[in-house]
Amino acid sequence: MHDLRRQALESGKTVSRKARSKNGSPASSTPNSAPPSRAASRSRAVSRAGSEEDENGNLSDETSFSTNSIDELLHGDASDPITDAWRADLADRIQELIDRKRSSVQGREKCLAIYVRTLTSQYAEEDIRGKEAELVVAFLKSIKAETSERETILAMKALAMTVVTSPSDLIYEAVASPLKRVISDSTSIPSKAAAIHCLGTCTFFGGASDDEILDNMAYLLEIVASDGAFIEAQDEPTPVVAALEEWGSLSTLIEDLAGESEEAAEYFVDQLSSSDAAVQIAAGENIALLYEKSYRPLAEDDGLAEYNEDDIISDPDDIPGVPKLIKNYNVYRRTDVLKDTLSDLATLNTRRQSKKEQKSLRTNFADILDSVEYPTHGPRYQNAISQDTGKRYGSRMTVRIHKEGVMRIDKWWKLHRLQGLRRVLQSGFVAHYEKNPVVFESLPIMIMNDRKAARE
């Protein structure tokens, strides 16, 4: 990737602040914080055999950046038959994308779709190694030209899959300005939303500095605060949802959000009154994450007398060995009012929204309210007592990995990371989680046996 800066920095962007702030966030020492992985590892795992793809198959994975609902995250992915036929086809498509000579819009769309589908279902780092710079240049040509909406979105999905498969510290600098131009200037709402998601992925995995991450979080917050007007998408829910989701994903890379929480919480609370259920849920999940990150375990040398009694919470089950938590900072000035709003959404009954939307809102906001009241509680927390252990079940959200393995999602930062990965990888999440070290390091969770998880 040594020549990526020369080939892809066509926007004239000057040297980024990454040069002045190259060190990533230190690993968090608190259980409520995510390990701030930004694809630091460059270890190369040998890709096992994959599946041969039908060129005329379903292309939903290629153009989608959506996970649609939490429930979709809880099911494992099907395994395809093992064959190496895809490697030769991928090599042909890569060469076709790089050459671009006498290519048509339809031809590029088909080629991009196959490239995305292959990188989604297979860990193809070895197959694209050394070609990343030329590929990024080719994707940027399609993104900048916006010849067709489909080609533009496919190129952004191809760019996102490339950076997840083979990260580089130079990708973010090369692509940030072109992606922001699409977000601001495109007349296509789906292209704006896809560009927001692609920007989030490239910020996360493409070598952005902490300052650049915070700048992009502020940029995304402007979109949310203006209901999309900041990017000429007034009252369009799709870009607002995308901005909320990517803000949440990027915030897991920042250990201390004390300086960002209050303003962000104000805008997220405003979005709870949105008429769009996806906007409300994405805003609510960010609120839960902010409350989770605002507490830290009480250290042994912390004197209880130094803190207000209201700032110290303990697990309501009083489980031995679970430390009390101390509030580092206030997330929102009127938590009492927020709780009332969340309670209303958790018991919503209205004709304005479908039964499916109401069920989703009630389920999600019951979780969010619980976490605002008890930041030790993660998604899908259950108070029921296990007959096997005599303890409360706690967070019951699990993701199935093949037939017998499950991944427990018991913190909001884990859910945000999972959702961010699934938006990009779609049905290829399990394949990449098993083989792609970059994906695993982003969500390093122990895979448990299904029976053991059920007992717990």
| Residue-wise pLDDT tens digits, 227-257 | 999 999 998 999 999 999 999 999 999 999 9
Dihedral sign from CA coordinates of 98, 101, 104, 105: positive
Structure confidence at residue 38 as a pLDDT band (50, 70, 90) = low
- At residue 400, the pLDDT reads 79
| pLDDT (tens digit per residue) in 375-387 | 888 898 776 666 6
3-state secondary structure of 50: strand
Interacting residues of 90 by C-beta distance below 8 A, sequence separation 6+: 114, 115, 118, 119, 122, 124, 127
- At residue 29, the pLDDT reads 38
- At residue 40, the pLDDT reads 43
Residue 392 contacts residue 370 (beta carbons within 8 Å): no
Name beta bridge partners: 401. 405
Q: Is 332 exposed, middle or buried (0-12, 13-18, 19+ CB in 10 A)?
A: buried
Q: In this model, does residue 181 exceed pLDDT 70?
A: yes
Residue 294 contacts residue 330 (beta carbons within 8 Å): yes
Number of neighbours of residue 73 by Cβ within 10 angstroms: 20
Structural tokens at position 34: 């995510």
- At residue 56, the pLDDT reads 33
* Nearest Cα residue to 148 out of 175, 110, 116: 110
Report the alpha-carbon distance of residue 310 to residue 324 in Å, rounded: 12
- Taking each helix axis from N to C end, the angle separating 277-293 and 355-373, rounded to the nearest 10 degrees, works out to 10
| Beta strand pairing call for 325-327 and 405-408 | unpaired
Structural tokens at position 32: 């409520």
- At residue 401, the pLDDT reads 78
Average pLDDT over residues 48-68: 44
* Nearest Cα residue to 135 out of 165, 105, 106, 107: 165
Residue 162 contacts residue 135 (beta carbons within 8 Å): yes
Structure confidence at residue 26 as a pLDDT band (50, 70, 90) = very low
Average pLDDT value for the chain: 80
Q: In this model, does residue 55 exceed pLDDT 50?
A: no
3-state secondary structure of 381: strand
What distances in angstroms separate CA 113 from CA 159, 366, 385, one per listed residue?
12, 39, 48
Structure confidence at residue 70 as a pLDDT band (50, 70, 90) = very low
Report the alpha-carbon distance of residue 154 to residue 117 in Å, rounded: 10
Q: In this model, does residue 6 exceed pLDDT 80?
A: no
| pLDDT (tens digit per residue) in 409-453 | 889 999 999 999 999 999 999 999 989 999 999 987 766 665 554
Report the alpha-carbon distance of residue 440 to residue 413 in Å, rounded: 15
